């Protein structure tokens, strides 16, 4: 961990001093976490690396060290020195303007303001000079030194104070983003109450609890680890993980997540994952890793700043030399203007524009159950114009349900349900299980059946109360000879709605014709939030929205009509899905939404792969975006955030460059002074930071 690692310039400084070291093979700086990881050969010691980092003005502590007090102390010292600089500058200016201050006293006040305001800046400037890599710290230091050299101590003090204030506010903005991420760490408790065999619950650290052990969660407590409910039922507030606004009922067999809040009941859980692999832990890890995946705009700014800063030094030198040498200008005047140019040209606002925006956007969406892997993905989301959707598990619930029970020939509906459930109870087919579940919900008990006989791909036969019955599909009814023209019309109407039919009736026997008693219409239900989610996507300008499914075309068409989806393609094999995605990609940036496993090839092909699901390993590790909860409405929100973030980044970059261009023109015309230049630079930086932090409040 590195105290004082608060802006991209400090990242560049660390790279400059660490990468050239003999024995250092690779390094990674995480600005959000305030940490640096170094791969090195054995001859490079940790103490040596810490000492090198310390020479830059930052302070490093080893992993597991007491970093927080170091960072907190550094922040307090920084603000104290900046405050002191401001007080001394203000007092000196007041005495100077009133004409009551002695020259020696004024110089002492301004010197104190310069030292305190530049305390954290000057060491970085010296380091930049040592490695011949000019940065904004060196530019500011040169401007202050030049002001002192020409006797403008008051302006030198103003520059040191305002730049120190700007740096402190920049660090504060990043600290706010860090706190937003760190707040996730506080969700899960540090201990769990473990249930032993024949012993009372005892409290142990969550790190010591292994998968398979049982823990107890009392009313109002936080769930310590991911697990499955074995005993008890309670409403659990999952807003911190899935973004659901209302608590959800959790009963035996249901999964719960670490960091969620138990409601009114006591739950006994069987732990499913160790503490380091809970969904919450992986969310935190992914958000931290995402910062390392730089967005295209951030890469552009980094490249621009590397060229821009030394170019500014060259231009300032020309501004100082050419007018006196060529046009006979006054050396003092053009030296002063060169100093003002150095201050104005500092790329503070430009360099900070993108990373704060990216971190704010990633953190805002993580709080709402949307994990976005890096700034590049966030920007790509904002450019999505076409979206492909899997059907089963994405648009639908992924399990068939009885949608309608249709009695025939005056059969009592509950009697029809009893017969159907009695026959279906002897089969493990998904349609049979749907009928059994529907009967249980209606309070109808299945009766024992005898002589069960299954006809593969058709249906079942069995005796119930001494009478032979059958339950089967449309084809089976034809084979039994029980279809009538009236029944055919009903079956066609049901199948046109993309529903499967289960026909129940008397089995033909002993010369007696069979008779249909009723029909069960079964289908995979469309998720309730899908139609509003599709409408939101259309409002966001995403078109076309298409279904890509291996299900039959008739079913896919019906789902598309119900959901308001533009196009539907059924009967697709996995490689055919890829082909459809590739055709969409020819029309613009394309996203693919699936379950993260079955649709993996298409997810990998699309510009942005979006995985639905409750945090499976495959989804979290392989998708560009993961929706922690199966809520398609979050896709439109993520796309809208991507567009908003891209807009804020573009505005920040253009605004920063425009301010530079305006004041550079004024410098050459002889208008701004040093303190006006630093005020403009500081103002631009603060506006850029404030604009970026608005993303944390996105709804």
> What is the residue extent of each domain of the chain?
1-187, 191-277, 399-525
CATH topology of domain 191-277: 2.70.150
Catalytic residue among 135, 390, 524, 681: 390
617 included as an active-site residue? no
Which of 22-26, 144-148, 181-185, 566-570 comes out lowest in average pLDDT?
A: 181-185
Q: Residue 216 burial by CB count (10 A; 0-12/13-18/19+): exposed, middle or buried?
A: middle
**Region 658-675: what's the mean pLDDT?**
73
Question: How many Cα atoms are found within 13 Å in the side-chain-facing hemisphere of 497?
Answer: 16
pLDDT at 230: 93
Give the tens place of pLDDT for each residue, 238-275: 766 654 545 778 889 888 888 888 888 899 999 998 98
Three-state secondary structure along 519-585?
A: EEEEEEEECCCHHHHHHHHHHCCCCCEEEECCCCHHHHHHHHHHHCCCEEECCCCHHHHHHHHHHHH
Confirm if 135 and 342 have CB atoms less than 8 A apart: no
Give the tens place of pLDDT for each residue, 345-357: 666 566 666 666 7
pLDDT at 150: 65
Domains 191-277 and 399-525 share a fold: no
Put residue 14 in one of left, alpha, beta given phi > 0 → left and psi -120 to 50 → alpha.
alpha
Question: How many Cα atoms are found within 13 Å in the side-chain-facing hemisphere of 502?
Answer: 33
Q: Residue 517 burial by CB count (10 A; 0-12/13-18/19+): exposed, middle or buried?
A: buried
pLDDT at 469: 93
Alpha-carbon span 52 to 35, nearest angstrom: 15
**Region 77-83: what's the mean pLDDT?**
85
Q: What is the mean pLDDT of the chain?
A: 79
pLDDT at 536: 92
Confirm if 611 and 583 have CB atoms less than 8 A apart: no
Give the tens place of pLDDT for each residue, 381-394: 888 999 999 887 78
pLDDT(456) > 80:
no
**Closest alpha carbon to 529 in 626, 404, 396:** 396
**Region 445-472: what's the mean pLDDT?**
85
Contacts of 627 (CB under 8 A, 6+ apart): 369, 370, 610, 611, 612, 613, 634, 635
DSSP 44: S
pLDDT at 290: 46
Q: 399-525 maps to which CATH number? A: 3.40.1110.10
Element (H, E) at 434: helix 430-441
Element (H, E) at 596: none
pLDDT at 60: 79
Higher pLDDT, 455 or 412: 412
């Amino acid at each position: 961990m590195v105290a004082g690692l608060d802006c991209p310039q400090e990242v560049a400084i660390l790279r400059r001093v660490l990468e050239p070291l003999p024995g250092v093979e690779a390094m990674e700086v995480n600005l959000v976490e305030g940490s640096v990881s170094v791969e090195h050969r054995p001859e490079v010691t940790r103490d040596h690396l810490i000492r090198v980092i310390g020479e830059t003005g930052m302070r490093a502590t080893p992993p597991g060290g007491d970093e927080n007090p170091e960072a907190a102390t550094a922040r307090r010292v920084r603000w104290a020195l900046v405050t002191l600089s401001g007080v001394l500058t203000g007092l000196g200016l007041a005495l100077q303007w009133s004409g009551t201050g002695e020259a020696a006293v004024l110089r002492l006040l301004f010197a104190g303001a310069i030292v305190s305001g530049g305390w954290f800046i000057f060491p970085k400037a010296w380091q930049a000079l040592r490695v011949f890599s000019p940065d904004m710290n060196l530019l500011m230091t040169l401007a202050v030194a030049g002001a002192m050299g020409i006797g403008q101590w008051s302006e030198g003090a103003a520059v040191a104070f305002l730049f120190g204030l700007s740096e402190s506010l920049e660090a504060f903005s990043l600290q706010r983003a860090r706190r937003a991420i760190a707040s996730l760490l506080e969700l899960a408790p540090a201990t769990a109450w473990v249930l032993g065999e024949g012993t009372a619950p005892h409290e142990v650290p969550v790190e010591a609890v292994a998968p398979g052990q049982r823990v107890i969660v009392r009313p109002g407590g936080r769930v310590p680890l991911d697990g499955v409910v074995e005993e008890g039922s309670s409403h659990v507030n999952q807003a911190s993980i899935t973004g659901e606004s209302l608590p959800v009922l959790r009963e035996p067999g249901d999964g719960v997540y670490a960091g969620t809040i138990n409601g009114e009941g006591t739950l006994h859980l069987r732990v499913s994952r160790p503490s380091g692999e809970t969904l919450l832990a992986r969310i935190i890890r992914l958000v931290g890793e995402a910062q390392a995946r730089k967005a295209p705009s951030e890469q552009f700014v980094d490249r621009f700043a590397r060229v821009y800063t030394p170019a500014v030094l060259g231009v300032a030198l020309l501004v100082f030399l050419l007018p006196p040498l060529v046009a006979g200008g006054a050396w003092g005047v053009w030296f002063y203007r060169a100093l003002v140019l150095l201050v104005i040209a500092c790329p503070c606002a430009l360099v900070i524009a993108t990373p704060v925006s990216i971190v704010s956007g990633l953190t805002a969406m993580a709080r709402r159950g949307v994990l976005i892997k890096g700034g590049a993905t966030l920007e790509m989301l904002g450019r999505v114009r076409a979206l492909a959707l899997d059907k089963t598990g994405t648009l639908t619930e992924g399990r068939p349900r009885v949608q309608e029970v249709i009695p025939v020939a005056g059969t009592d509906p509950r009697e029809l349900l009893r017969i159907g459930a009695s026959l279906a109870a002897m089969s493990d087919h998904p349609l049979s299980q749907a009928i059994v579940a529907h009967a249980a919900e209606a309070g109808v008990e299945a009766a024992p059946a005898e002589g069960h006989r299954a006809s593969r791909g058709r249906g079942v036969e069995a005796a119930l109360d001494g009478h032979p019955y059958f339950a089967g599909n449309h084809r089976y009814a034809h084979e039994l000879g029980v279809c009538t023209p009236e029944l055919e019309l009903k079956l066609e109407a049901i199948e046109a709605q993309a529903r499967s039919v289960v026909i129940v009736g008397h089995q033909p026997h002993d010369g007696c014709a069979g008779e249909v008693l009723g029909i069960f219409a079964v289908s995979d239900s469309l998720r309730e939030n899908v139609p509003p989610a599709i409408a939101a996507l259309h409002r966001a300008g995403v078109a076309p929205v298409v279904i890509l499914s291996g299900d039959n075309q008739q079913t896919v068409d019906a789902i598309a009509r119900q959901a308001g989806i533009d196009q539907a393609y059924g009967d697709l094999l996995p490689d055919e899905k890829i082909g459809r995605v590739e055709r969409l990609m020819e029309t613009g940036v394309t996203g693919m939404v699936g379950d993260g496993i079955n649709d993996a090839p298409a997810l990998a092909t699309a510009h942005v792969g979006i995985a639905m699901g409750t945090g499976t390993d495959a989804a979290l590790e392989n998708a560009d975006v993961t929706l922690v909860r199966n809520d398609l409405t979050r896709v439109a929100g993520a796309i809208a955030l991507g567009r908003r973030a891209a807009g804020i980044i573009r505005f920040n970059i253009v605004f920063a460059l425009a301010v530079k261009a305006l004041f550079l023109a004024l410098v050459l015309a002889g208008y701004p002074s040093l303190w006006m230049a630093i005020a403009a630079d500081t103002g631009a930086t603060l506006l850029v930071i404030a604009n970026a932090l608005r993303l944390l409040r996105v709804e």
